Amino acid sequence: MLILFSITIIVLSAVVSSVLLRRMNETLQNYVSNLVAADSRQLELNIDSYLDKVENTVSLLFSDDKYYQFDATDTSLSNYDKIQAEDAIDQEIVNLSLMENFSDFGIVYANDENTGMISEVTTALYPDHGLYQAFSDSINREKTMDGWSFGYKHNYDRLYYVKRLNNNAIALVSFYGRELETVFELPEQLKSMTIRLVNDDNQILYSSDDNEVGSTLQPEIADTVQKMDSSATVLQDSYLINSNTCSNGWRVVCTIPVQEIMKDGAVLRTRMIQTVTIIALIILAAGFLFYLRMSRSMTGMVETLSDQAEHDLMTDLLNKQTFEKNVARELSSYTGKQANVFLMFDLDNFKQVNDCLGHAKGDDVLKRLSRILRETLPEAYLVGRIGGDEFAAFAAYTDIDQKEAERQVHVLIDTIYTAFDREFAQEKEQTGISVSAGVVVAGPGEYTFDDLYRRADRNLYVSKRNGKDRATYES
């Protein structure tokens, strides 16, 4: 009877233990899936912000017809007129490129002449002419007459952006793929995850594994991604795969081997089975206690996941997705708002901090600026990190009118600049770092997030173009 009872207890313990472990594995998989989805979405937003900066910079060439209408193939132009036009274009391109770290930024004409800064690496791709035709073929968006491309003549170091200016001229911009390292930030909890940026042909444009750049996605992953929606997560036998589509059609693809996710669960299962073979009653008690303990632990992890999904992992500010959602909710709910304030901040010469002082110092600068914004802005403000070194804040005023809001905002901006200068005095001397701002104070009315974002972003660019380290206001 004792033997039968012991066998029954052993079998019951084994069954209960198996159920507990399966539920633990399922919970762990769901936790990791949600964390990967949240991080991948943030990466996609960061990429869109980076690509938008490039496109917006090129679009500034349309500010004056002497830049975008000039045609170097026009034989009716005198040498003097041609030289004058090219000098003006060169100067404008130099001014625009001061804001970015481009490898190429220039204009290529149908006769393969070029102005601006077209590198020898790029011109060497087509030494016997054909540069204009090759890059013109990459224009695949008819509405905007532009396009992104990669891998010309097996050169996988750079990403290219092309935009048509006129029938015989295209603007050409490139930057090194490794520049995206500042965009693809990998959380510590997902250190086993591989991050990739791929094009329509599943060619890898960037990867956290440098050896993959230029190759194509593994067939198993590529086939799954091809069937996925623009934003989705799929758990296969071998990988957990998440994919998000960027604004230009490229995809951010994140993968984690299932065996890495289940590694801890496998260890626990082995130990539990060994314990079951030793004594049934201890197994049953230990298994039950283990389940309760894991349930509490997983509850804590789920709560942590919820917080991480809404906040930027480095600065603990709202991430772009959550910031946009919360601002949109504030704008859609009418509670007697008399003024809406939208602020955007961007660090000037931030790349110099990373290059001269190291990426750890760059991360520290972002955290310290975040602290300044949290401590300076009133509690009513929503504050978020919306890109690599871009921040935004929003507040709706119900107790003061637009004119008083403008006055208070000017005081706030001055306070932020004073705090910034005091906090980063050493870094300003070493790297020339500063902060530019775009400010919108809108009166009563119906607005969307995109309305205020575009206006503030436009003002931010004005600050950048007018010398940086300043704020541009609009009401």
Spatial neighbors of 128 by CB under 8 A, at least 6 apart, are: none
Better pLDDT: 24 or 366: 366
pLDDT higher than 80, residue 396: yes
What pLDDT was estimated at residue 236? 80
What pLDDT was estimated at residue 409? 96
Up-side HSE of residue 120: CA atoms within 13 Å toward CB? 0
Assigned architecture for domain 318-474: 2-Layer Sandwich (3.30)
SS3 167: coil
Better pLDDT: 418 or 338: 418
Rounded to an integer, what is the distance from CA 145 to the centroid of its chain?
24
Average pLDDT over residues 247-270: 78
What pLDDT was estimated at residue 34? 74
What pLDDT was estimated at residue 191? 76
State what percent of residues in the chain have pLDDT above 70: 83
Q: Among 161-170, 288-297, 423-432, where is mean pLDDT lowest? A: 288-297
Better pLDDT: 288 or 236: 236
> What's the pLDDT tens digit per position in 73-89?
998 989 999 999 999 99
Cβ distance 147 to 136 under 8 Å? no
pLDDT higher than 90, residue 192: no
Distance CA 110, CA 274 (A): 74
SS3 143: coil
pLDDT higher than 70, residue 3: no
Cβ distance 40 to 32 under 8 Å? no
Spatial neighbors of 27 by CB under 8 A, at least 6 apart, are: 294, 298
Q: Are strands 104-109 and 114-117 parallel, antiparallel or unpaired?
A: antiparallel
pLDDT higher than 60, residue 234: yes
What pLDDT was estimated at residue 185? 73
Which strands make up the sheet holding 239-245, listed edge to edge?
204-207, 194-198, 251-257, 239-245, 231-235
> What's the pLDDT tens digit per position in 314-362?
999 999 999 999 999 999 887 778 899 999 999 999 999 999 999 899 9
* Nearest of 440, 246, 462, 441 to residue 346 by alpha carbon: 462
What pLDDT was estimated at residue 256? 87
pLDDT higher than 80, residue 126: yes
Better pLDDT: 114 or 287: 114
Distance CA 436, CA 462 (A): 9
Signed CA dihedral, 226, 231, 235, 238: sign only = positive
What pLDDT was estimated at residue 229? 80
> What's the pLDDT tens digit per position in 34-65?
767 777 788 888 888 889 999 999 999 999 99
Cβ distance 225 to 243 under 8 Å? yes
pLDDT higher than 70, residue 265: no
What pLDDT was estimated at residue 318? 95
pTM: 0.53
In the chain, which residues fall in CATH 3.30.70.270? Answer: 318-474
In the chain, which residues fall in CATH 3.30.450? Answer: 53-178
Q: Say which CATH class 53-178 falls into.
A: alpha beta
